[in-house]
Chains A and B, each alone.
Chain A
Amino acid sequence: EAQVTQNPRYLITVTGKKLTVTCSQNMNHEYMSWYRQDPGLGLRQIYYSMNVEVTDKGDVPEGYKVSRKEKRNFPLILESPSPNQTSLYFCASSLSTQGDSPLHFGNGTRLTVT
């Protein structure tokens, strides 16, 4: 089944403890992206990647890192999480970076930083 898989679905951690949220897609998609969703603020883009080894900042990149060493994987790294990074995170991918290419979303990762 074609899908975007995020892990874990739920994560509770403490301030400063490095963590990684994984994202994998099995559709050979070029474009991948991370979003965070907070009440009243909608979906905000953190980072995106247009292909292997090509990444760029979205609107809220501070405190996050990403890498795209393989086409299928796009992990989100929080080197030193803080409580303001408590949020619902979504990974998404699309076949290409062209305008007529729909995004496919994962089921989300709910992160709590205490």
Chain B
Amino acid sequence: DAKTTQPPSMDCAEGRAANLPCNHSTISGNEYVYWYRQIHSQGPQYIIHGLKNNETNEMASLIITEDRKSSTLILPHATLRDTAVYYCIVRGTYYGGATNKLIFGTGTLLAVQP
């Protein structure tokens, strides 16, 4: 699986858009980009995923660059409840082996300020 790189922390004002970057320069053509978040010590929560195209759901938008080497998670109107650690990971489509070792890393701590 490709490794990802994220900034350790970011701040965002309440009500503004939060843009969280992720680098995955070694991603292969059939690996998906996933975003999860973890609030305090709860279980990580799935947010969104994508392969090549930009994606949007009720929680967030995912923008993937054309070369797929980086992506940005966008929370359009951040609230205090969005304060959490955000993880960007990649997941392959092969059945088996090392591609199913999902590497989470340490993520980005997003602090939404009032």
Task: Return A20 CB to nearest CB of chain B, in Å.
Answer: 19
In the bound assembly, the distance between CA atoms of A108 and B38 in angstroms comes to 12
- Distance in angstroms between the alpha carbons of A48 and B106 in the assembled complex: 20
Q: Bound state CA distance, A107 and B42, in angstroms? A: 6
State the Cβ distance, B50 to closest chain A Cβ, in Å.
Answer: 9
Classify chain A: how many residues form its interface, as a range. Answer: 20 to 34
Q: Within the complex, which residue of B93, B95, B96, B107 is in contact with A100, where a contact is CB–CB below 8 Å?
A: B93
User: Measured between alpha carbons, how far is A61 from B104 in the docked complex, in Å?
Assistant: 16
Q: DSSP majority for the B interface? A: loop
Is the pair B100, A42 in contact by a Cβ cutoff of 8 Å?
A: no
Contact with B along A60-101 (1 / 0, CB 8 A): 000000000000000000000000000010101000011111
Per DSSP, chain A at the interface is strand
Which residues of chain B come closer than 8 Å to A41, judged between CB atoms? 106
Chain A residues with CB under 8 Å of B32's CB are 99-100
Which of B31, B42, B91, B92 has its CB near the most chain A CB atoms (within 10 A)? B91
Name the residue among B93, B95, B104, B105 with the largest chain A CB count within 10 angstroms: B104
Residue of A at shortest CB range from B42?
A107
- Interface residue A53 (Cβ < 8 Å from any Cβ of B): no
Partner pick for B104 among A43, A88, A100, CB 8 A cutoff: A43
User: In the assembly, what is the distance between CA of A4 and CA of B103, in Å?
Assistant: 20
Closest to B92 in A: A99
CB distance B43 to A105 under 8 Å? yes
List chain A residues, Cβ under 8 A from B41. 37, 88, 108, 110
The residues of B that contact A100 with a CB separation of less than 8 Å are 32, 49, 51, 93
Contact with A along B6-40 (1 / 0, CB 8 A): 00000000000000000000000011101010000
Cβ-defined contact, A48 with B95, below 8 A: no
Inter-chain CA distance A44–B105, complex, in Å, is 8
Interface CB pairs A-B, < 8 A, 14: A35-B104, A37-B41, A42-B87, A42-B105, A43-B87, A45-B103, A50-B95, A58-B101, A98-B93, A99-B32, A100-B49, A105-B44, A107-B43, A108-B42
Given A45-B104, A59-B103, A105-B45, 18 further pairs, Cβ under 8 A: A43-B87, A44-B104, A45-B102, A48-B101, A48-B102, A56-B100, A58-B101, A59-B101, A90-B44, A98-B95, A99-B30, A100-B49, A102-B34, A102-B46, A103-B36, A105-B44, A106-B43, A107-B42
